[in-house]
Amino acid sequence: MSRENPVQRAAPRHSVRLAAELRVGSIVATGSTRDVSAGGVCVELDRHVEEGALVEVILYVVEDDIESADQRTLTLAATVQWTAEGDRGYSHGLKFVETDAQKIAALKNALHALGIA
Considering only 20-29, 31-40, 46-55, 69-78, which range has the smallest mean pLDDT?
69-78
Nearest Cα neighbor of 54 from 91, 94, 13, 3 is 94
Q: Does domain 14-113 have CATH number 3.40.50.300?
A: no
Cβ proximity of 61 and 18 under 8 Å: yes
pTM: 0.78
Q: Where are the domains of the chain?
A: 14-113
Q: What are the backbone angles phi and psi of residue 18, rounded to the nearest 5°?
A: -125, 145
The residue among 52 and 18 whose pLDDT is bigger is 52
